[in-house]
Amino acid sequence: SRQINLASRPSGWPTADNFDLVEVAPPALQEGQALVRNLFMSVDPYMRGRMNDVKSYVPPFRLGEPLDGGAIGEVVESRAPGLAEGDLVLHGLGWREQAVLEASRARKVERIEGVSPSAYLGVLGMPGLTAYAGLLDVASFKEGDAVFVSGAAGAVGSLVGQIAKLKGASLVVGSAGSDEKVDHLHEIGFDAAFNYRNGPVAEQLRKAAPGGIDVYFDNVGADHLEAAIGSLNTGGRVAMCGAIAVYNATEPAPAPRNLFLAVGKRLTLRGFIVGDHSARMPDMIAEVGGWLREGRITASETVVDGLENAPAAFLGLLRGENTGKMIVRL
């Protein structure tokens, strides 16, 4: 079977040369292990950070070794208690067609009628929890809040906006990188949306939310964060989820230049990592899963076929080629 190794570390934007597609023989199964055929794997922005050799909340990928990350697969052979052939499992050994897993490292999940198993990598998985816990717990969202979310057409952002709407936001504004994505945001229920490439973010945000905003869910950082600080009302809250505008930068971003406004406006800016919020997973699955079954939430996906195209899918994600969750089908 095939896997993708880290060939070299990028400086600035990654390229196809940083990845190596290699053929490997699956190791023999030990007692306690299962062989899984991966059906879908996730590519996520945090993987860009793991390509650097720096200390962070997740260790870096290692040169000459396979990358890893969220994947969903089917058990094809098992010597592990609790795992049987045909079981659907969510695990962390993506970037390969087959994975050998200890039972403790695989979570058995249900097949849901009418829902692709890839949902466990998106709306019913890590991005879903990021949106749910980030909005409700980190940003302390409450009914009547006006919410702005950047990266709004992506996996996390599209859910943040829809959850806010379903929970009674007075206004939900999203920003994204193309006019097609802006149309999509209107289709999935955002009250207002703008293309950040069409003009200064601060100006477009002021126009979309003339009464200001109470919550900013930050996926982008830099000029988006600066614009949000400018538009936040007194007592406003920011969930600092990501800063994709700076992940490939080789120089520090100049914005936000107006951070001092946080003093007079009594703002709260809170960073968070989804892994610390796993206790909220059952609540998220119950509530968001319910909306999904009722057709009240749209969970878009952009699906790329074949392991050989996983690096291109990852680079495409960083460039904004996805609407909703970027998924690789193996």
Site residues for ligand NDP per CB under 6 A:
44-46, 127, 130, 151, 153-157, 176-178, 181, 219-220, 241-242, 244-245, 272-274, 317-318, 320, 322, 326
* Minimum gap (Å) between residue 8 Cβ and ligand NDP: 22
Q: Which is nearer to ligand NDP, 61 or 78 (CB)?
A: 61
* Minimum gap (Å) between residue 103 Cβ and ligand NDP: 26
* Minimum gap (Å) between residue 316 Cβ and ligand NDP: 8
d(CA 143, CA 167): 6
* Minimum gap (Å) between residue 93 Cβ and ligand NDP: 19
DSSP 110-152: ---TTS-GGGGGTTTSHHHHHHHHIIIIIS---TT-EEEESST
* Minimum gap (Å) between residue 200 Cβ and ligand NDP: 13
State both tokens at 232.
């936040």
| Residues contacting 47, CB < 8 A, separation 6+ | 61, 67, 69, 314
Q: Which is nearer to ligand NDP, 117 or 154 (CB)?
A: 154
Q: Which is nearer to ligand NDP, 80 or 123 (CB)?
A: 123
Give residue for tokens 């080789």. Answer: 250
Q: Which is nearer to ligand NDP, 34 or 163 (CB)?
A: 163
Q: Which is nearer to ligand NDP, 15 or 30 (CB)?
A: 15
Contact criterion met (CB below 8 Å) for 88 and 117:
yes
- On the 0-12 / 13-18 / 19+ scale of CB atoms within 10 A, 169 is buried
Before 256, cis peptide (omega within 30)? yes
* Minimum gap (Å) between residue 114 Cβ and ligand NDP: 23
Q: Which residues pair with 93 in a beta bridge?
A: 69
Q: Which has the closest alpha carbon to 103: 35, 170, 33?
A: 33
Q: Which is nearer to ligand NDP, 83 or 159 (CB)?
A: 159
